[in-house]
């Protein structure tokens, strides 16, 4: 079913593009960058986000093929539209050396196994826990927020080599994490011809490239 875009959203994106030229980004990178900026009204995400087009192409295919989606908190899950999500925070318990958010990630992995798409927008400890699991994710959207551990956990995600969307700074949050996932959900599955064109474009077209870190 074709998504109907509300006029307010259309006007919001028009104003965003009037203030920021995103036309140089590859298609999925542009979709993620714009929707994250739209969710936060923060143009700095254009240079703060880190991902690449090949990663997004593979994740987009996995998502539209039915890969499970895991959210670290209910606020992230609530922001994701058009897809059921797994969030085990209500079932999780903290213990010595393990936060409730980290335990929720363990429980979710036991449920979904490898190949899932993980959307982490709140707790750095959730992202840290995912990195020590052999989760083999299709994508990690790692955008936790905070002054303690957020930037460090996202740097560790990039260093892990896992397919990821992250950002360099301490900012992030549930809304922007959900927005990044929604960008992939809303973007139509490409035809075989458009796939070929996408793969012939620049392989590394993130807002901030990994090599620049």
What is the distance of C-alpha 209 from the center of its chain? 16
Rg (CA), the chain: 16
The 3-class secondary structure across the chain, one letter per residue, is CCCCCCHHHHHHHHHHHHHCCCCCCCHHHHHHHHHHHHHHCCCCHHHHEECCHHHHHHHHHHHHCCCCEEECCHHHHHHCCCCCCECCHHHCCCECCECHHHHHHHHHHHHHCCCCEEEECCCHHHHHHHHHCCCCCCEEEECCCCCCCHHHHHHHHHHHCCCEEEECCCCCCHHHHHHHHHHHHHCCCCCHHHHHHHHHCCCCCCCCCHHHC
Give the pairing of strands 69-71 and 139-142: unpaired
Rounded (10°) angle between helices 27-40 and 7-19: 100
Asked if 6 is an active-site residue, the reply is no
Q: Which of 6, 24, 38, 64 is labelled catalytic?
A: 38
Active-site residue set = 38
């Amino acid at each position: 079913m074709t998504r109907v875009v509300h006029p307010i959203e259309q006007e919001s994106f028009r104003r965003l593009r009037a203030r920021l030229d995103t036309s140089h980004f590859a298609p999925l990178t542009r979709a993620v960058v714009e929707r994250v900026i739209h969710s936060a009204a923060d143009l700095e995400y254009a240079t703060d986000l880190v991902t690449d087009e090949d990663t997004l192409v593979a994740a987009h295919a996995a998502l539209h093929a039915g890969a499970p989606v895991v959210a670290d908190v209910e606020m992230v899950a609530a922001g994701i539209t058009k897809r059921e999500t797994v969030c085990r925070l209500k079932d999780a318990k903290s213990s010595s050396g393990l936060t409730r958010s980290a335990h929720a990630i363990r429980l979710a992995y036991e449920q979904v196994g490898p190949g899932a798409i993980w959307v982490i927008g709140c707790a750095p400890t959730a992202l840290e826990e995912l990195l020590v699991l052999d989760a083999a994710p299709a994508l990690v959207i790692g955008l936790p927020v905070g002054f303690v551990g957020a930037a460090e956990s996202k740097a560790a995600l990039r260093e892990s080599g896992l397919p990821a969307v992250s950002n360099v700074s301490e900012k992030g949050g549930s809304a922007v994490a959900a927005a990044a996932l929604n960008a992939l959900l809303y973007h139509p599955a490409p035809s075989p011809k458009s796939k070929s064109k996408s793969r012939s474009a620049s392989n590394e077209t993130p807002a901030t490239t990994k090599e620049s870190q």
